[in-house]
Amino acid sequence: MFHWKKALCIASLGFSPGCLSTLPEKAPNESTQCLENYYEARRRQEKIADGYHFSNGVISFSGAVLWFGFIEGLAIPAIGIPVSYYYFEEQTEENMNALQKECSKGQI
């Protein structure tokens, strides 16, 4: 007999993504404007990471609660967490690109 619970658990582990990208340790250059943009980008990055963790918590909790009602409830985290990862990873990439763009202004 095929065990759906085991199969969905294994599938959800296989689809679970890693961590979001992070900003560099230092600002790309030491100009005042670049440093201001760097700290603003770090604040945005923290908000993105907090949203990501909250979103994954809600998705995982709802899947766990629904799992007790029907086994298909495990599909919620198995599908939702990777979708959440790609959504927030895209925001992270936009944040990093904006920082690079702002810090490269005025440089030759």
Domain ranges for the chain: 26-103
- 3-state SS of 8-71 is HHHHHHHHCCCCCCCCCCCCCCCCHHHHHHHHHHHHHHHHHHHHHHHHHHHHHHHHHHHHCCCH
For 43-101, how does the pLDDT look when each residue is reduced to its tens digit (9 = 90+)? 999 999 999 989 988 888 888 788 777 877 778 888 888 889 999 999 999 999 999 99
pTM value is 0.72
| Least reliable range by pLDDT among 29-33, 39-43, 50-54 | 29-33
Q: List the structure tokens of 84.
A: 């959440």
